Chains A and B, each alone.
Chain A
Amino acid sequence: MFGHYLALGVRHLRRNPVLTALMVVTLGVGVAASMATLTVLRAMSGDPIPHKSDRLFAPRVDIRPDDASDPDPEPPLQLAYRDAVALHGARRGVRQTVLYGVAPAIDPGRPDLPPFFSNGIAVHADFFAMFDVPFVKGGAWSADDDTRGGRVVVVRQSLATRLFGSAEPIGQSVKLRDRDYVVTGVVADAWDPLPRFYRQIGGQGAFTGMEDVYVPFATAIAAELDQNGSTSCYNSGDNDVPGFEGLKQSQCVWLQLWVELASAGDAAAYRDFLAGYMAEQRKLGRFPRGDNYRLHDVMGWLDANQVVAEDSRLQTYVAFGFLLVCLVNTIGLMLAKFTARRGEIGVRRALGARRLAVFQQHLIEAGVIGLVGGAVGLVLTLGFLWLIGRQSTQLAVLARMDWVMFAATFALAIVASLLAGLLPTWRAMQVQPALQLKSQ
């Protein structure tokens, strides 16, 4: 009977086209508003590396002076050079990397391609394995390059094409600022984690600006590649020593550290290690605010950085509230539609339809309305996302529909229409045939 009821549902759409159109559009608009905001929210709050996000950790330690100048109980999001290097050097994780943004000028040495600034990042070699960075050619530099500050570099596929065309990029030389670096690997352009979780501070935001150049951390420090990002200084005297060396010696925070642990359960041991490190440093007069540290896994780190703004969540709640209003309207329209068919229901009941059969028929019809409403909602969602994407480059990255959201749009429309159809269907089921047949 399902196929028969489905066919009847489709046929009944044509019986009162104005009422049908109203229901479909009402449902479609509600679904589109919800799905458009949900799509953006989902992209913002999704797990960018789900298979290991619970094993990747970013530590924070509270380096601030113990005064009332900054009452925020949360420690700074970044680390000072000496802490980052010390914690990295302890090698308490399976892998670890310090990172900071750099923006060295690249001189292609070609008359047709003038020098330009790149968007780069200084990291340890573990970075690539920790974050599952895919290579299209070559690979990461060696541990020895990390230690001695080798003149090596990894570039993104698009930059490799720009610099070398179709020539083999591995082994080629890239001039960053005034020094040549040998390309050891080419990262696939397809690598585009969303949000860009590993580098939340500085750069081009949480959703855009993938790096073109990856330089060994030790090399970047030795070359005094300036930090391209955010620096926060809390202690007086932080700027006593000028230049890059001064930044290294200061208590200013400008680096991030990521540690990959063997399992999520190892976080407790790492916290103990952090507490121990701070206690040891306190003996040297540092960390006056006590054991105020944090150890975030990937999702915790995104929360700490408020990647999903509260107003984004609020917009989604409002959109779903709007869907609720649309549903209430759809219930009213469906009630009108089914009430107009009381006579037919009476005839069907007289001819032997059980109440359950009437219920099934009308609920499936509500589902058909949902299916058509879903199609309309999908078109409107794409339209809304296009409009959202036009607001900014970051939103353009987020406002993209994938297959999951495509399916979710239809699912939401059908579920919403079935919910809206429950009351009208229940009322249809209650029709007393004797009352309807005489009045036909």
Chain B
Amino acid sequence: MLVMKNLSKVYRTAMIETHALRGFDIHVREGEFVAVTGPSGSGKTTFLNIAGLLEEFTSGEYHLDGKDVRGLGDDARSRLRNEKLGFIFQGFNLIPDLDLYQNVEVPLRYRGLGRAERRTRIEEALAQVGLASRMRHYPAELSGGQQQRVAIARALAGKPRVLLADEPTGNLDSQMARSVLELLEEINAGGTTILMVTHDPELAARAKRNVHIIDGQVSDLVHEPVLRAVDAAAAP
């Protein structure tokens, strides 16, 4: 589904070269739920931005759903983002002066879907996150957890192949975080691949696979999260 080989990203200014990613390899299979962890400045967000076609990489290879994205123009990258990817951000990133219906509608409009199909998808997506009854509310009228659910609905409405989540529970209290995580697990169970950047070990533990990044490189690939094993051992 998502393959990066020997990928590097270098930020250059007149004075400094910063290697955000170097020799970066990863292979995320369809239906996986991968948690990406690592210390601050390790390159997690750069990786997610490149995976989400929000940034270009300096060298290496990146195939998304079988398509080589190297050298694609801005229009093609935008179309791929719209059709194959869904985004969930730490700060929700809802548009404040659009109601929930209109927020979820944004990516569907860019895809050029007709009004009837947009309506069907929006209603389904908002129902899936439990907010069908509040579609004419504005983001400011919702709690943080509800806002993140709207962001998830917005991502789901486009029926993406991969859901990219950057600290999706970072701004939520533990109860809301748990509820959002359960929702993500439910979505993953439905077959959507999820790639989630997080600092939270508990959150990472609930993913099917953990990827740890240090200094712009994948340091180890843990197929069975360590904490899940610890939890299992601690269980009576």
Supposing A434-B54, A434-B55 touch, asked if A351 and B110 sit within 8 A by C-beta, the answer is yes
Residue on A with the closest CB to B74?
A: A355
Contact B45 A438 (CB under 8 A): yes
- List B residues at the A interface (Cβ < 8 Å): 45, 49, 52, 54-55, 74-75, 78-79, 81-83, 87, 89-91, 93, 95, 97, 106-107, 109-111, 154, 158, 166
> Do A437 and B75 form a contact, CB below 8 Å, given A352-B82, A352-B107?
no
- A1 on interface, CB distance cutoff 8 Å: yes
- Residues in B whose Cβ lies below 8 Å from that of A432: 54-55
Which residues of A in the span 329-367 have a Cβ within 8 Å of any Cβ on B?
A: 343-344, 346-357
Q: A12-39 vs B: 1/0 string, CB under 8 Å?
A: 1011000000000000000000000000
Query: A352-B81, A354-B78 are contacts. A1–B109 as well, Cβ < 8 Å?
Result: yes
Provide the residues of chain B in CB contact with A356, threshold 8 Å. 75
**CB of A143 to closest CB in B, whole Å:** 74
B97 touches A351 (CB 8 A): no
Nearest B residue to A346 via CB reads B93
How far, in Å, is B106 (CB) from chain A's closest CB? 5
Do A350 and B87 touch (CB < 8 A)?
A: yes
- Residues from chain B with a CB closer than 8 A to the CB of A69 are none
A356, A432, A440 pick with most chain B CB within 10 angstroms? A440
Residues of chain A with a CB closer than 8 A to B75's CB: 354-356
Question: Between A and B, how many residue pairs show CB distances below 8 Å?
Answer: 69
Additional 18 contacts, C-beta under 8 A, given A12-B97, A351-B158, A437-B166: A346-B93, A347-B95, A348-B95, A350-B54, A350-B81, A350-B87, A351-B82, A351-B87, A352-B82, A352-B110, A352-B158, A353-B110, A354-B74, A354-B75, A357-B110, A433-B54, A438-B90, A440-B89
Interface residues of A in 30-58 (CB under 8 A from B): none
Tell me if B54 and A440 are in contact (CB < 8 A): no
A-B contact pairs, 11 of them (CB 8 A): A344-B95, A347-B93, A352-B78, A352-B83, A352-B110, A354-B74, A355-B74, A434-B49, A437-B87, A438-B166, A440-B93
Q: From DSSP, what is the main secondary structure of chain A's interface residues?
A: helix
9 closest cross-chain pairs (CB), A and B: A352-B82, A434-B54, A352-B110, A351-B107, A434-B49, A440-B91, A354-B78, A347-B93, A434-B55
A11 at interface by CB-CB < 8 Å: yes
The residue that A15 contacts in the complex, of B83, B89, B97, with Cβ under 8 A, is: B97
- Name which residue of chain B comes closest to A433, CB basis: B54
Contact of B78 among A12, A15, A346, A349 (CB under 8 A): A349
**In the docked arrangement, what's the CA distance between A348 and B54, Å?**
11
Pairwise interchain contact A4-B81, C-beta atoms closer than 8 A: no
Contact with B along A393-435 (1 / 0, CB 8 A): 0000000000000000000000000000000000000001110
A353 to B108, CA, bound (A): 10
Compute how far the CA of A122 lies from the CA of B27 in the bound complex, rounded to whole angstroms.
Answer: 100
Q: Considering the chains assembled together, what is the distance between the CA atoms of A14 and B89 in angstroms? A: 27
Residues in B whose Cβ lies below 8 Å from that of A438: 45, 90, 166
A343 CA to B158 CA, complexed, in Å:
21
Tally of A interface residues using CB under 8 Å: 26
Residues of B within 8 A of A440 (CB): 89, 91, 93
Across the interface, do A351 and B55 meet the contact criterion of CB distance under 8 Å? no
Q: List the A side residues contacting B81 at CB < 8 Å.
A: 350-352
Q: Chain B: which residue is nearest A343 at the CB level?
A: B93
- With contacts A15-B97, A437-B89 known, is A351 near B106, CB below 8 A? yes
Query: A residues within 8 A CB of B49?
Result: 434
Query: Of B52, B83, B109, B111, which one neighbours A350 at CB under 8 angstroms?
Result: B52
Contact status A352-B111, CB under 8 Å: yes
A357 to B110 Cα, complex, angstroms: 8
Alpha-carbon separation in the docked complex, A432 to B50 (Å)? 12
Residues in chain A near residue B109, CB distance under 8 A: 1, 4
A347 nearest in chain B by CB position:
B93
**Closest Cβ–Cβ distance, residue A284 to chain B (whole Å):** 84
CB–CB B97/A11 < 8 A: yes
CB distance from B77 to the nearest CB of A (A): 9
Q: B residues within 8 A CB of A350?
A: 52, 54, 81, 87, 93
Which of B74, B78, B79 is the most central at the interface, judged by chain A CB atoms within 10 Å of its CB?
B78
Determine the chain B residues whose CB is within 8 A of the CB of A434 once the complex forms: 49, 54-55
Max chain B C-beta neighbours (<10 A), residue from A15, A348, A354: A354
In the complex, what distance in Å separates the CA atom of A344 from the CA atom of B95?
Answer: 6
Report the bound CA distance from A344 to B109 in whole Å. Answer: 15
**List of A residues within 8 angstroms of B79 by Cβ:** 352, 354
Determine the distance from Cα of A194 to Cα of B49 in the docked complex, in whole angstroms: 67
Residues of chain A with a CB closer than 8 A to B111's CB: 352
- Given A437-B54, A438-B45, A438-B166, A353-B78 contact (CB < 8 Å): yes
Q: How far is the CB of B138 from chain A (nearest CB, A)?
A: 12
Q: How far is the CB of A139 from chain B (nearest CB, A)?
A: 65
A356 CA / B75 CA spacing, docked (Å): 9
- Of the listed residues A11, A350, A438, the one surrounded by the most CB atoms of chain B closer than 10 A to its CB is A350
- B213 CB to closest chain A CB (Å) equals 16
A434 and B51 CA atoms in complex are apart in Å by 11
Nearest-CB distance from B14 to chain A (Å)? 19
Residue of B nearest to A357 (CB): B110
Q: Which residues of A contact B90 (CB under 8 A)?
A: 438
B107: chain A residues at CB < 8 Å are 351-352
A348 to B106 alpha-carbon distance, docked (Å): 7
Which residues of B have CB within 8 Å of A354? 74-75, 78-79, 110
Q: What separation, in Å, do the CA atoms of A14 and B98 have in the docked complex?
A: 12
Q: With A and B bound together, what is the CA distance between A352 and B113 in angstroms?
A: 13
Q: What residues of B have a CB within 8 angstroms of the CB of A433 in the complex?
A: 54
A88 shortest CB reach to chain B, Å: 73
Q: Which chain A residues border B93 with CB–CB below 8 Å?
A: 343, 346-347, 350, 437, 440
| Cα separation A25 to B90 with both chains bound (whole Å) | 39
B225 to chain A, nearest CB (A): 25
Which residues from A are CB-within-8-Å of B166?
A: 437-438
Write out the residue numbers on chain A whose beta carbons fall within 8 Å of the beta carbon of B110. Answer: 348, 351-354, 357
